[in-house]
Structure formats: C-alpha cells, structure tokens
Structure 1
Amino acid sequence: MRKMLVAVLGLFIAAATAAAPFTWPGGAQAAVSLGYDDGLASQLDHVVPALNKRGLKASFYLPINSPTLPARQDEWKAAAAAGHELGNHSLFHGCSGVGPGREWVLPHRDLDKQTPVQVQEHILAANTWLQSLDGKTRRTLTPPCLDMKAGGQDFVAALRPHFVAYRAAGPGLVTDTAQMDPYAMPVYFVEGWSGEQMIALVEKAAAQRAVVSLLFHGVGAEHLSVTREAHDQLLDHLAKNKARLWTDTMVNVMENARKQAGR
C-alpha cells in the first residue's frame, strides 16, 4: 500500500512539473520582447518613433545617470504613456571591472568594490525614480552587463519581490512553462546583426512557440549598435506578422508567461 501511495504521489509531482507549451494571445506563435539598454539618444530619436509608427511595444532599460535623464525625461514619459516599459537598469550602471573589455568601468562604480546592500539600494532607488516618470509599480530588471554579484556576493535574489522578471541569462529560447525561470530569462545580444539574422531568430522562436528576447543598445549610432536599416527591417517584419509574432513589453510578456506557469 505504501509503495502504491509513493507511486501515486510521484505521478502527481511529475504532472505538476511537466512541460506545458505556451499559449500566446490571439493564437500567436511566439512572444517577442525587444529591449533597449542604457537610455540612449538614438532610442528616443529613432526607436520610439519607429515602434509607435508600427504599433509595436518594447522595453527601455534606463540607468538613472543616462544623459537623456533628466534632459529628455518628458520624452521618456511620453514613451511610457504610449505603452512602452521603462525598465530598471540601476542608478549608475555599475558593472564588474574584472576581465577583458571592462576598462571603461570607473573605480567607484565597480561592483567588485561594492556590497550587495549598496547595489540593492541603488536599484530600489531607480524604481522610485522610474515610478515618478510612468506611475507604475510593476516592471522588469536588466542588471547592467548581466553582472549579478557585488563584492563577490549575489545581490539580485533579494530583489525578486520588487520585479516581475529579470533579463539575466545568456542567449536562448524559453519554450515551455517548466523550463521558464522568470529571474533568469535569456537574452540575445544583437550588436552588428543584420535584419535577416534577427528575423531568422524570431521565426525560430515561432517554430517553437517560445519567448525570445532581443537586447539592443545603439541603433544607427552610439555603442554596441545595429544599423537603422537592419532594425527597421526587423520592425517591418514584426508589424507585418503581428498575428503570429506577439511583440510586447517584457513586463507584459512575463506577466502572461508567469500566469500560464502558475507562478
């Protein structure tokens, strides 16, 4: 009898954790999240108008020390009012200064020289600042450089109650509810990609009914950029295929996905 109860319990546990394919709004084949980091001028000059023209929504991850804040904060308020997410990218874009290509990290913003509590305070203060722009309390976080340790210790785990999700893992597609970790959502860095490459990625996601997240910085300017032509080619494809490719803010995509996963 005991063996039978254990077996039945095992079946219940397996059923509870079994993979379940996502079902996206309107029967769409994929959920596409476009995210733009660092609050760059090209995002206000080109990206927001291009998205609005096509009726697409995206997430903009703003460090509060961005030169476009406060100089162009009214434009960020307008972006939020148009339905775009203002995501959290901390106060000062602190990153680890260790490793190749990190020479630009200033000593006083080096995460290796800070404590988790310091960084957590910066991120929560950024939430307050962003709420003053958009009036919202639900948003997502992208840790700058995807670095999640300060002084060698994790600082993001304690912040989970304050965010719907994190973009915080290397490239990959999330194809079902069992696979999904809202606080380790993968992103593709698309620096230098062509329009054809980005379209191929979202179509790959559609074939798997997956969540796919693309991470941009500059568009036609600034650092880690893609060309405006490649970016517009992707947006044209998404707009033409809205019924198949649900393109929305990361917070909306993840609230939908978490509801399906019961989390």
Structure 2
Amino acid sequence: MKNLRFRACGLMGLLLLCLPLSVTAESSTWPGGARAAVNLAYDDALASQLDYVVPDLNRHGFRGSFYVPAAAPLLLERLEEWRAAAAQGHELGNHSLFHQCDKQRPGRDWVAPHRDLSQVPVQAFAEQVALANDFLFLVDGETERTYTPPCGDVQVGDRDYLTPVKPLFLGAKAIGAGGVTPSMESLDRFGITVAVPSEVSGEELIAVVEEAARRGTMANFTFHGVGGDYLSVSREAHTALLEHLAAHPERYWVDSFVNIMRHLQDH
C-alpha cells in the first residue's frame, strides 16, 4: 500500500471526483450556514496521528475521525492518548478488528495470508466488526459510531458483508472515488466517497474543500500518515489545509464524521 498514488483522471480529477467545476451549489444544509461540511479522517491508528494530527486539530478547534482497527498494536500501547483524543471530541471509528483485506485483488501482495478477507465467512467477519464496536466502547464509552471498511473492501469474495452490519452504524465511507460529494439529494450514507491523499500539496487539498463549497455538499478525506508512517502527506500540506479551513469558518463546517452523519439523520 505504501506506493499508492492518485492516477485515474489525473491527481486533481480523482480528488475532485472527476466532475466539472461548473455545477450550481445546492442550498446549504449545514450548521451556521456553512457552504460545505468537511470531515478529516485518519486510518489505521498510526503514531503520526497521535504525535502531530491530534495536537494540530486541537490547535484549530477541529474534531477529526480516527478509524482504529481494534487489534492495532498502537491502540493498546498508547491507550490513554487515544482516550484523551476521544475526550477532546475526536471520533474513534470502527475499522474492523484485524484490518483484513481481500488478497485476491490486484496489488494486494502485501496482505498476509492469515489476513485474507476472501477466506473469511461473511457472518464471521460481520461478528468481528460488531466486536470491534464493543472494544471501542471500552475505550471511549460511545454507543454511536461510523465505519470505514479496510482497503475499501465491502465484500467477502463475491458476498456482501456491509449490509448485515449497517444497523451498527450511522454511516460508512467508500475508500477512493473522490472526496467531493456530488449531490446531497442522492447521498448514500453507507457509501460516502472519500479522497485518500498521498504525497499531495496543500494547494491540492484546499482545492477539494473549495469545490465542495461551490457545490454546497461535503468534502471527505481519509488520510493515513501525516509527516511520517505510510501513504503519507507532509505536515506542511496538512497544515495548509487546516489553516485554510480555520480562516473560513463561514464557508466550512469541520467536524467528525459521526457528527456529520447525526446532522444528516436529523435533517
């Protein structure tokens, strides 16, 4: 996974969902009359997220979403820091128990054989996802949660496992396919697409939220490493995005994915 980069439609095309810019913005549905909702999410429970991301988000008063595999070593190793992040308003989202992915798909040589999702019965994996919710409850005490499927895989072989676990969540993300929601009218809360930035500039990240504001919809990011780890963006690029969002509170509502899903559910 470490060499994953945006390619289809070009880098900016995929970030912006490969859609034209001349689209009329929808009426604002966001708190404070903001033009777009923005979720900053971070997968896999990585050290750079605790070292850099949480302090940077706190500095700007933003709440992010951290999708934590329940068996991630860093979850137990730095448990109190994750608990502190949750107490500060950051979301600990479900990212399954063992972060299993379908090894049979192209480019999945890095998946260990014992973590091959294609070899797991659907019901067994659904039970693991439910168990991950229970484990995260012991960390943060929260009962409402959202989900990001590892590697974006929502099937076990050719069998859907997402449908059986939908009642456990307020919403779920679909990895890749672009970070700008094209329309709120056709929104699927269990298939909200995200940008997965790696080695991009601050200007490219800012372009995503600006396009969401033009459309009056949502911008969703799924970062991994920031200033380190893998699938990384630089701290400079990440900081540029945060500073842009902070400079325009009238334009962007930045919040955790679970809070955005609660808002959509209520409205």
Q: Deviations over 1:111-145 (max 9, x none)?
A: 11111111111111110011111111111100000
8 Å CA contact 1:177–1:257 kept in 2: the answer is no
Q: Deviations over 1:232-262 (max 9, x none)?
A: 11111111112211000001111112322xx
Q: Which residue of 2 aligns with 1:10?
A: none
Q: Which residue of 1 aligns with 2:122?
A: 116
Q: Deviations over 1:60-89 (max 9, x none)?
A: 000012121101010000000000000000
Cα shift at 1:43: 0.1
Alignment partner of 1:59 out of 65, 75, 88: 65
Q: Secondary structure at the match of 1:220?
A: coil
Cα shift at 1:172: 4.7
- Distance, in Å, in 1 between the alignment partners of 2:41 and 2:60 is 16
1:101 matches 2:107:
yes
* Count of residues paired in the alignment: 242
Alignment partner of 1:220 out of 227, 241, 265: 227
| Unpaired stretches in structure 2, ≥5 consecutive residues | 1-25
Amino acid at match of 2:227: G
Q: Which residue of 2 aligns with 1:229?
A: 236
What does 1:59-78 correspond to in 2, within 5 Å? 59-78=65-84
8 Å CA contact 1:21–1:177 kept in 2: the answer is no
Q: Which residue of 1 aligns with 2:19?
A: none
Q: Which residue of 1 aligns with 2:15?
A: none
What does 1:23-102 correspond to in 2, within 5 Å? 23-102=29-108
8 Å CA contact 2:180–2:208 kept in 1: the answer is no
Q: Deviations over 1:216-245 (max 9, x none)?
A: 000011110000110111111111112211
- Distance, in Å, in 1 between the alignment partners of 2:203 and 2:184 is 29
Amino acid at match of 2:144: R
Cα shift at 1:171: 1.5
8 Å CA contact 2:28–2:34 kept in 1: the answer is no
1:136 matches 2:158:
no
8 Å CA contact 1:22–1:257 kept in 2: the answer is no
- Distance, in Å, in 2 between the alignment partners of 1:80 and 1:155 is 28
8 Å CA contact 1:32–1:212 kept in 2: the answer is yes
What does 1:158-169 correspond to in 2, within 5 Å? 158-168=164-174
TM-score, normalised relative to structure 2: 0.87
Amino acid at match of 2:260: V
8 Å CA contact 1:193–1:230 kept in 2: the answer is yes
* Greater Cα shift, 123-132 or 150-159: 150-159
1:200 matches 2:203:
no
- Distance, in Å, in 1 between the alignment partners of 2:60 and 2:186 is 32
TM-score, normalised relative to structure 1: 0.89
- Distance, in Å, in 1 between the alignment partners of 2:216 and 2:264 is 12
1:258 matches 2:265:
yes
- Distance, in Å, in 1 between the alignment partners of 2:208 and 2:120 is 37
Amino acid at match of 2:75: L
- Distance, in Å, in 2 between the alignment partners of 1:111 and 1:27 is 42
Q: Which residue of 2 aligns with 1:180?
A: 187
Compute the RMSD of aligned alpha carbons: 1.5
Cα shift at 1:22: 4.2
- Distance, in Å, in 1 between the alignment partners of 2:179 and 2:234 is 23
